[in-house]
Chain A
Amino acid sequence: MAAVSALRAPSGGFSFDNCARNSLLEAELGQKGQRLPAARKTGTTIAGVVFKDGVVLGADTRATEGMVVADKNCSKIHYISSNIYCCGAGTAADTEMTTQLIASNLELHALSTGRLPRVVTANQMLKQMLFRYQGYIGAALVLGGVDVTGPHLYSIYPHGSTDKLPYVTMGSGSLAAMAVFEDKYKPDMEEEEAKQLVRDAIAAGIYNDLGSGSNIDICVISKNKLDFIRPYDVANRKGERYGRYKCERGTTAVLTENVAHLEIEVVDETVQTMDTS
């Protein structure tokens, strides 16, 4: 093992050792007119709505990396607990890791208290963690679920502020989705109405925002059941090819043919047995 002259034991967690080097590299590349590679963002439309018996969460499925689509069908609705799900917008890795961490913490907490976890607990854990990192963890979340106190829906911003509302949208397509919600939302909707409303809101985001696209995923959470419908609707379909573009042999006339033999001499032959046990 390599030994380093350190005076104290290393601690876990984030290490800031490379920050100075990174900023130097960025300055140098900036001089030459190049940029560091961008983190993969989800550039998203996510939305949630509270209906009569529960909560409907919806999300698109496109992940972008700068100006390129990195993932045409990524899953943005993350599992937090059996009765709580969370949609994530922002940096893809941050939302993924944050939701997994909070899911683990919530499971430990539920085992310790012996009760079904509440949505407000997940909300507190998320906002305390995001505030601790002062917005450097780029995760904007829509958290929804049903617990003993009823259905709840929260939106959580990267710096740690939260809102408890009957309908929320986040991500780059949030304005398009919010416009649909503001027009058509009614309190105490039925499940089918709520699903259609969320589908329309996400579709508005997909059609009007470059950062959102592909399919629409829906998650319906109510007291007795959980429906995770992926995909609920395929909004952007790739075009169908109408004809074959392969040319048959003989389309191009052969004028001359010249065959050159490669003289290969076997110099050495070894046989190695594979261990297929």
Chain B
Amino acid sequence: MESRGAASLLKDSIPITDFSLPGSFEGHGLRRGFPCVKNELVPSHPLELSEKNFQLNQDKTNFAMLRNIQGLHAPLKLQMELRAVKQAQRLPFLHSSNMALDTLRGNDECIGFEDILNDPSQSEVMGEPHMMMEYKLGLL
């Protein structure tokens, strides 16, 4: 594993947990439950955070640039359209096509890893409908 050392003192660096501790796999499980990435508060891979927030960061950069060039109205109008289109979704446990959102973002003319790997429409497991509805309505 990478040893961060002085690099971890930098503000932007992401801390990585050091897994080179001795001990069996089962020992880990007895003390802390089966290691699950979603339970960990630190990312297990340097790219995890940047990939999770990639679309958000892209949007932020683009809107900031647009604001500086054309004024506040330009990003405001675009964000209004995006927000309107994000509301037309299916229930949370069903897969929505997001066609209007893709068209607005320009993703209908691009193909990326999110279309090839782990396609959500081909997922082998589905979320529990009741829990997801309760989470969406804020009842959970």
Q: How extensive is the interface on chain B, given as a class?
A: 35 or more
Instruction: Tell me if A250 is interfacial: C-beta within 8 Å of chain B.
Output: no
CB distance A13 to B132 under 8 Å?
Answer: no
| Cα A20 to Cα B113 with chains together (Å) | 22
The chain B residue sitting closest to A104, CB to CB, is: B111
The chain B residue sitting closest to A5, CB to CB, is: B128
Partner of B110, one of A3, A23, A105: A105
Q: CB-CB < 8 A to B22: which residues of A?
A: 31
CB distance B125 to A101 under 8 Å?
Answer: no
Tell me the minimal C-beta distance from A197 to chain B in angstroms.
36
A4-B125 CB under 8 A given contacts A14-B117, A16-B44: yes
Contact residues, A1-57 vs B (CB, 8 A): 1-17, 19-21, 23-24, 27-28, 30-31
CB distance A14 to B123 under 8 Å?
Answer: no
| Cα A19 to Cα B22 with chains together (Å) | 18
Tell me the minimal C-beta distance from B34 to chain A in angstroms.
9
| Cα A7 to Cα B135 with chains together (Å) | 7
CB distance A136 to B114 under 8 Å?
Answer: no
B80-118: CB near A (< 8 Å → 1, else 0) gives 000000000000110100000000000001111111111
Of the listed stretches B3-11, B46-54, B67-75, name the one at the interface; the rest are far from the partner chain.
Answer: B46-54
CB distance A27 to B20 under 8 Å?
Answer: yes
CB distance B126 to A21 under 8 Å?
Answer: no
Binding site for A on B (CB under 8 A): 1, 17, 19-22, 24-25, 28, 35-38, 40, 43-48, 50-51, 54, 92-93, 95, 109-120, 123-129, 131-132, 135, 140
Beyond contacts A15-B118, A19-B45: 9 other A-B pairs, Cβ-Cβ < 8 A, are: A2-B126, A11-B118, A13-B113, A16-B51, A20-B44, A101-B116, A108-B110, A112-B109, A132-B54
